[in-house]
Amino acid sequence: MRTLHIALLTLALTAACGKGDSPHPVETTGPAPTTNAAPATPATAAPKPETTAEAKPVQHVEIQIATVANTMTFDKTKLTVPAGAEVHLTLKNNATMSTLGHNWVLVKPGSQESVAANGLKLGEPAGYIDVRDKNGLAHTGLAKPGETTDVTFTAPTEPGDYPYICTFPGHYMMMKGVLTVTP
Ligand code: CU
């Protein structure tokens, strides 16, 4: 008799909750109440558009960056993106001198020199990037003068300042900027 009672109660609760996790009511536990007991939440969880901080939708960020004429500089030396955002970055190489190839490489703080050195070892066929280098966080391909290249990547989840460089031979020391990741 008591078991039946519990079973009925469980069923009633499940129905009240609308979409319980499990379609089968479990007698012993019953439907788990919302774990993050938010105050003043109606029992019938109305399917509202998710605007709360709990389930942040991934933000998409579009970034355009270019190189300045026949110099070893980016036209933007400061970029900002929210942590974990999906970033689509386009690099335009505005050089006209045939010797000026460029790329855009996001690295872990302090690893500019080693990332550039590792890329240099593999040379042009690899776009001056060693993809095995864990200090490299994201990179575009190599853009020849007049060319555009791009990359889509997920921004670091840890807020902070991340350097970006061009790993074309001899460029990284001058050709750089900082991507700030905000919380
Ligand atoms: Cu460059």
CATH code of the domain in which 169 resides: 2.60.40.420
Residue 16 lies in a domain: no
- pTM beyond 0.85: no
Q: Specify the higher pLDDT residue, 56 or 87.
A: 87
Distance CA 90, CA 149 (A): 6
Residue 93 lies in a domain: yes
* Helix residue ranges, H only, the chain: 2-17, 112-122
Residue 52 lies in a domain: no
Q: How far is the CA of 74 from the centre of ligand 1 (A)?
A: 8
Mind listing the pLDDT tens digit for each residue in 1-50?
A: 444 443 333 333 334 444 444 444 444 444 444 445 444 544 455 555 55
> What phi and psi values does residue 21 have, to the nearest 5 degrees?
-60, -40
Position 56 scores a pLDDT of 72
Identify residues whose C-beta is under 5 A from ligand 1, the ion. 102, 166, 168, 171, 175
Position 49 scores a pLDDT of 55
Position 94 scores a pLDDT of 98
Q: How far is the CA of 26 from the centre of ligand 1 (A)?
A: 63
> What phi and psi values does residue 50 have, to the nearest 5 degrees?
-75, 100
Q: And the tokens for 60? A: 């998409």
Mind listing the pLDDT tens digit for each residue in 150-179?
A: 999 999 999 999 999 999 999 999 999 999
Q: Are 164 and 178 in contact (CB under 8 A)?
A: yes
Q: How far is the CA of 139 from the centre of ligand 1 (A)?
A: 13
Quickly state the pLDDT bin for 57 (edges 50, 70, 90).
confident
Which structural domain range is residue 140 located in? 60-182
Residue 54 lies in a domain: no
Position 44 scores a pLDDT of 52
Residue 162 lies in a domain: yes
Number of compact structural domains in the chain = 1
Residue 29 lies in a domain: no
Mind listing the pLDDT tens digit for each residue in 68-97?
A: 999 999 999 999 999 999 999 999 999 999
Mind listing the pLDDT tens digit for each residue in 100-148?
A: 999 999 999 999 999 999 999 999 999 999 999 999 999 999 999 999 9
* Helix residue ranges, H only, 19-149: 112-122
Q: How far is the CA of 144 from the centre of ligand 1 (A)?
A: 10
